[in-house]
Amino acid sequence: MTRIINRQPSRYGRLALGFLPFVILLLVYIVASDARLAENSADKLLPSFQSFADAVVRMGFEPSKRTGEYLLLNDTLSSLQRLMMGVGLSAFIGLVIGVGNGMVPYMRSPLSPLVTAISLIPPMAILPILFIIFGLGELSKVVLIVIGICPIIIRDIQLRTDDLPPEQLIKAQTLGGSSWQIIVRVVLPQIMPRLIEAVRLTLGSAWLFLIAAEAIAATDGLGYRIFLVRRYMAMDVILPYVLWITTLAFAMDWSLKRVSILLFPWYHGTQGGGHD
């Protein structure tokens, strides 16, 4: 009898086992939903799949009766725009300051304590300040995402830069590289795949800050919509929206991983494919 730590499911077995929890969750939902609807056909807490389908068609494929817009599309575009700006800006600042701190002691000494202090501020606590300073428009939402995830990216990139073997930097100096040439040719290309990893890991927090900001002050966006229809207990809209946000987040994570494998084969080659 082989030990359980040595027993491997087959390829199809793995696939089936992976789906199993989802199937169970779905069955539990259907049973619970049916039970509640049998008791009260107007129950809103666990809607039937028919009402989900109706809500999806209403939100996604019919123009809104009030404004003539496709709400789901509109919300998605607004949210994605804010998220991309926030994450893109954070990644850029994170790369510049992280690599700078990692490579230049005279930059690290003044900046590193500041970054640590900022990273300890709970971003949601200063959201009111952001609304006061930047107004209720797009800027304050983007700034919230940046304040929330940028310090994490900076600190991660700084650590990754420190982790580069000192032998490499010495070798680059004996090859005649200036500080700038070494940063551009030796450090940055090796940090880029790690930046993508840092972005993937902080995407979840970025969504959190985006939805929080939209819930409080916005006129469109996925988070705005969820919190709006909550007033009518419209679970038939909320749940598909949550599913849609999850799908978007998964798609972003997956594409970032593919981009990294495509652009930095040397990085993933040495990691033995263990980086997912």
Partner 1 sequence: MTKSEKPIIQIKNLWKEYGDNVVLERINLDVYEGEFVSIVGASGCGKTTFLNLMLGTEQPSRGSILLDEAPLDPEPSTERGIVFQKYSVFPHMTALENVMLGEEFSKTSMSSVAMGRLIGRAKEDARENAMAILEQVGLSQAANKYPSELSGGMQQRLAIAQALIKKPRILLLDEPFGALDPGIRKDMHQLIGQLWQEQKLTVFMITHDLSEGFLLGSRLWVFDKTRQDSHAPERFGAHITFDIPLSTGKSGEEELERLKATELDVA
Residues lying near partner 1 in the complex (CB under 8 A) are found at: 165, 167-168, 170-178, 180-182, 184-186, 189-190, 264-267, 269-270
| Separation of alpha carbons 97 and 154, rounded Å | 6
Under a CB-based contact definition with an 8 Å cutoff, are residues 101 and 154 in contact? Answer: yes
Smallest separation, CB 110 to partner 1 (Å): 23
Residue with smaller CB distance to partner 1, 182 or 216 = 182
* Helix ranges restricted to H, the chain: 11-39, 49-56, 71-103, 105-120, 127-134, 138-163, 166-174, 179-182, 188-216, 222-229, 235-263, 265-270
**Least distance to partner 1 from the beta carbon of 266, Å?**
4
Cβ at position 164, least distance to partner 1 in Å: 9
For partner 1, the closer of residues 137 and 265 by Cβ is 265
The smaller minimum CB distance to partner 1, of residues 145 and 182, is found at 182
Tokens of 88: 């893109």
Q: Least distance in Å: CB of 187 to partner 1?
A: 10
Residue closer to partner 1 by CB (options 119, 190) is 190
Q: Cα(182)–Cα(170) distance, rounded to whole angstroms?
A: 10
Q: Which two tokens stand for residue 117?
A: 């202090």
Q: Residue 30 Cβ, how far from partner 1 at the closest point, in Å?
A: 50
Do residues 88 and 142 lie in contact, with contact meaning Cβ atoms separated by under 8 Å?
no
- Shortest approach of partner 1 to residue 172 CB, angstroms? 8
Instruction: Using alpha carbons, list the distances in angstroms from residue 44 to 38, 64, 219.
Output: 12, 22, 25
Nearer to partner 1 (CB atom), residue 173 or residue 247: 173
C-alpha closest to that of 59 among 240, 242, 245, 247: 240
d(CA 169, CA 38): 71
Instruction: Give the C-alpha separation, 207 to 244, whole Å.
Output: 13
Residue closer to partner 1, measured from CB, 202 or 260: 260
Q: What does the block give as tokens for 119?
A: 């990273």
Q: Smallest gap, in angstroms, from Cβ of residue 134 to partner 1?
A: 35
Residues with Cβ within 8 Å of residue 236, at least 6 apart in sequence: 44, 47, 51, 52, 54, 55
Q: In the complex with partner 1, which residue's Cβ is closer, 68 or 105?
A: 105
Nearer to partner 1 by Cβ, of 36 and 257: the residue is: 257
Q: Closest approach of Cβ 272 to partner 1, in Å?
A: 10
Q: How far apart are CA 253 and CA 258, in angstroms?
A: 9
